[in-house]
Amino acid sequence: MFAALLLAYAASRSSAVVSTPVFFSFAIPTYAAVVAALVWHGIRHSRQLEKLSITDTLTGLPNRHALHLDYARICRKEQELAVALLDLDGFMLVNDHYGHAVGDRTLRVSADIISEICQGEARVYRLGGDEFAVFKSGPVAATLLEGLCRRIVERLAKPVRVEERRLTLGASIGLARTTAAQQLGSPELLRQADVAMYASKRGGKARCTWFSHQFDASREQTREMDEELRSALANGEFTLHYQPLIDCDSSKIVAVEALIRWPRPDGTFTAPDTFIPVAEESGLINPIGLLVLRRACLDALDWNGITLSVNLSAAQLRNPEFPIQLGQILEETGFAPERLELEITETCLVHDPVVAERSLSVIRNFGVSIVLDDFGTGYASIGFLRRFRFEKLKIDRSLVSQAGQDDGSRAMMLSSITVARAMKMAVTAEGVETEEQAQMVRAAGCDQIQGWLYFKAMPASEIPQYLDRPIDIAATTVAAAIETKEGKVA
């Protein structure tokens, strides 16, 4: 183009000395060439801009905007349209462990893998972060897309090579479909796929889930419960009950576990298993958890030096403020940190081990113990136990009850106790309901027993009467009856 401009400039300079016909025969085509070059350059530039606006710069894949444009172009022509939303399961860990440069390379490698599987069959997009979409239209689009997604899940379940590293990622996928007749717009289709993707995550990750309208209904219920929880917190509706842990040797109460209760103004009770997951999702678990901690520390202050166990949610452990808040509560209440143990489950650690490890080490420095709750329900390995060094393991009720019935579960329970002992961890058997179970876990080497055989959870005011003396099982059935009368759900 510069050459054309120079030519035009030279033509205008020399125009004074050349004759008029010569001038016209030379200058007009030159000007025309300049204008054409400018127009061509402008078009090329605007095309480049347009391409940039629909391309993800990191992976070179089309982006979210491109997906909406493609959908608008295709939706009237095709009978069936389906979209899959894919989220990489382990990507956060890759970023945390290896930094953003490796994270970026991992995204490029993942983009290549997904594109290779979908090549020629469906279009792949990167929506942002570690989220990708796959769009398929035409006859039986939904079935074909599901097949592709299953292959992607299978492939990403295997380690992925990023330079010299082998990383395990995994993919959770949500699928949504529509027909031309339904006239569902692309934002709604993507929203549905997103809801389905979260169902895949909740269901255990590394899977595909189709959107169902029931998901929306349960979302609505969750939203309602979230509002009710907010007002319950503001109105001070939550209370605490305590379930004793009995020492196997002395038969005395050596600890109590604080369990939250929600007596509703209408006289009904909602079980913590129902409302805690809702509070976890909305983040409300943070203020609720602090309330539990503060209340429990105050209640247990005068309970003759026994240990206080408080449950901690994954969301609380993920909150970087938590260790500071815990320190403040210990200071305010004057509760001895050595008397406090926090119960966490494996999921607290699996999803974000780096942050969790950091927080746990601060908490331990206060003198507070960490207990692995619900052991036997997940996949906790010996390596896992060694990495996090728990002070105690709580063997889950399901394992205790199964151990009484089949040899496999019994062997698993026994080996868990052996491993815990070898790692210098104490062991509590949870959910012990019968004399036979109590005898079995005692013989297996458990240190403490917790379960309805001895006590159900009870209000703080009833704990002191049972302290400092061996527990007679027959007498404790009274305490159990009280809680049943309250309508407590197990």
Q: Residues in the site for ligand C2E, rule: CB under 6 A?
A: 243, 258-260, 271-273, 276, 289, 292, 311, 313, 343, 373-374, 397, 431-433, 451-452, 457, 490
Closest contact distance (angstroms) between CB of 278 and ligand C2E is 12
Residues interacting with Ca ion, by CB under 5 A? 311, 343, 373-374, 430
C-beta of 171: minimal distance to ligand C2E in Å? 29
**DSSP code string of 200-236:** HHHTTSSSEEE--HHHHHHHHHHHHHHHHHHHHHHTT
Q: Do the Cβ atoms of 89 and 171 come closer than 8 Å?
A: yes
Residues with Cβ within 8 Å of 51's Cβ and at least 6 positions away in sequence, in order, are none
Least distance between ligand C2E and beta carbon 279 (Å) = 8
Comparing CB distances to Ca ion, the nearer of 56 and 343 is: 343
Closer residue to ligand C2E in complex, CB, 111/258: 258
Partner from Ca ion, ligand C2E, none binding residue 433, C-beta < 5-8 Å depending on class: ligand C2E
Judged by beta carbon, residue 192 or residue 309, the one nearer ligand C2E is 309
Q: Pick one of ligand C2E, Ca ion, none as the site partner of residue 259 (Cβ within 5 to 8 A by kind).
A: ligand C2E
Q: What does 457 interact with, of ligand C2E, Ca ion, none (CB < 5 to 8 A by kind)? A: ligand C2E
- Token couple for 84: 């899959």
Q: Minimum CB separation from ligand C2E for residue 172, in Å?
A: 24
Query: Shortest approach of Ca ion to residue 396 CB, angstroms?
Result: 6
The total number of residues written for the chain in this structure = 490
Minimum distance, C-beta of residue 288 to ligand C2E, in the bound complex (Å): 7
Give the contacts of 217 (CB within 8 A, at least 6 positions apart): none
Angle at 108 between CA 171 and CA 163, to 5 degrees: 100
Instruction: Record the tokens describing residue 355, joined without a space.
Output: 């942050």
Give Cα 253 to chain centroid, integer Å. 36
* Closest separation in Å from C-beta 432 to Ca ion: 12
Instruction: Name which of ligand C2E, Ca ion, none residue 243 binds, using a CB cut-off of 5 to 8 Å depending on partner kind.
Output: ligand C2E
- Rounded Cα–Cα distance for residues 331 and 451 (Å): 32
Q: How far apart are CA 42 and CA 348, in angstroms?
A: 55
Pick 103 or 376: Cβ nearer Ca ion: 376
d(CA 59, CA 107): 7
Amino acid at 450: Q
CB of 315 to Ca ion, least distance (A): 16
* Whether 330 contacts 342, CB under 8 Å: no
**Among Ca ion, ligand C2E, none, partner that 425 touches (CB below 5 to 8 angstroms by kind):** none
CB closer to ligand C2E out of 328 and 484 = 484
Q: Are 26 and 11 in contact (CB under 8 A)?
A: yes
Helix (H), strand (E) at residue 260: strand 253-261
Q: Which is nearer to ligand C2E, 12 or 484 (CB)?
A: 484
431 binds, among ligand C2E, Ca ion, none (CB under 5 to 8 A by kind): ligand C2E
Select 279 or 306, whichever has its Cβ closest to ligand C2E. 279
Q: Among residues 62 and 451, whose Cβ is nearest to ligand C2E?
A: 451
The dihedrals phi and psi of 385, each to the nearest 5 degrees, come to: -60, -40
Residue 487: other Cβ atoms inside 10 A:
10
Give the shortest CB-374-to-Ca ion separation in angstroms. Answer: 4
**Could you give the CA distance from residue 431 to residue 434 in angstroms, rounded to a whole number?**
9
Distance between CA atoms of residues 307 and 253, nearest Å: 9
For Ca ion, give the closer residue by CB, 177 or 261.
Answer: 261
- Minimum CB separation of residue 400 from ligand C2E in Å reads 9
160 vs 432, which CB is nearer to ligand C2E?
432
Find out whether 74 and 82 touch, Cβ atoms under 8 Å.
no
Instruction: Give DSSP secondary structure letters for 434-458.
Output: SHHHHHHHHHHT-SEE-STTT---E
